[in-house]
Structure 1
Amino acid sequence: MTKQGKPEMTPDWSAVDDLIANREDTLDRLREYFGEVDWREKKSGYTGAWFERFDRGGDRSEVKDRFTSADMIAVSMLSIIVPARAAWLLIDDPGGTFTQLLAQIPTDIELVDVDAPGADPMSACHELWTQARRLRGVGPTTASKLLARKRPHLLPVQDSVVLAALGSPDIVWEPLRQKLRAGLHGQLVELGVEAGVPDKISALRVLDVALWMTYRPGTDSGPRA
């Protein structure tokens, strides 16, 4: 993704490399985030652990090509409230734009498997991003979480914490695709398996959670010694 007239900035991957190098710390943080919580006992936990799984997911066959009220609830689990008018336009989709674009994006392809930046289905992903961003009150973080809910294996969650850790203010789909293909994807899968992350959780989400848990406000903003 590029901004009009501006080249995409190259992320600083040192934070990601640190996650891999500090494996035990990363595993601990993943286990903390995705650990099961009994809400009736009012134990602390992370609602975002259910982002992909709430209502059986946003990419299941019955709802994969349309936004639903469950998707709006799911993004609220990541501390995002979609403005009422934007939520209505996404769900009701008066012109059919969102449904048409989602229908062009398969649910069974991962970002690591995309052959080239301009190859299908990325052109439809870019247009879906553009259309979502045109809705009043839908900023880049909200848009990324909406798209990640519908295509969790292809499109990453990108919030201010993650982008700051990467030293990049821009969307990082293409450089991330290259990094995944250079070996990061397999490393993330291994981390997820070893940490006991639920099967439905994508490698992209493993990366997002690991970065967020390491660099979020209130932490030491880096790997533990």
Structure 2
Amino acid sequence: MTDGLVPAGSPAGTIPTVAAARSAPVVAAASVAATRSRPVVAAASVAATRYGPIAAAASVVVHAPGAAARIVGVSLGHRTLAEADHWIQELDPAPVLACTHLVPDPYPHVAISLLTPETFGTEPSLQPAADAAATGPAGRAVVFPGSARLTGTLSVSEILQRSSIARVEILGSGPAGPSAIVDTGDFVRPQFRSGELVLVTTPAAGGVLIPFERRDPTPCCAAH
């Protein structure tokens, strides 16, 4: 297993990648982020629209006040999801959308795609990984419109209203009903599939659902 990651460029959607939007600079994403009822239909659409690879990547950030957000790839060689998540959550300003991607070259690691106006310098050896993250078809979302509001115990209806998540699924059972209760554990990492964010859950004690990916996996899963 790969902790919910799929290789960048894989046709299967187990994690969100944001596709490159070179000619559409994402005015919609900014306005969507400000829309409380459905903060990201537009961001998801932009993420799903690919116009070709975008050069981007790692380490040095160049601030560009007033610049339009677009998809960039970043590869810093993070070995784990936790390391990549921490780096994403330390970004200031925060990106509109940030996803992680498992890439195989030049060695297996976690690359990142961002919907942001910022520019990142890149190390040449990691450029292919950054490009793969920026243009791949799937990803695992860490930051997305409304993500900060998904804490505590919420109904499926509340999750859909508060964030850009398009639907909540129960693993192996299909969509969850709007009144189903989800104990988020303050850790929500939806998958990006076919231009939308999907939160996969699993039944837990007490008749509630919990996200399939947990902050602290059980011992049987932690080794995979």
Which has more helix, going by share of residues?
A: 1
Structure 1 length-normalised TM: 0.27
Give 1 or 2: higher strand fraction: 2
With normalisation by structure 2, the TM-score equals 0.28
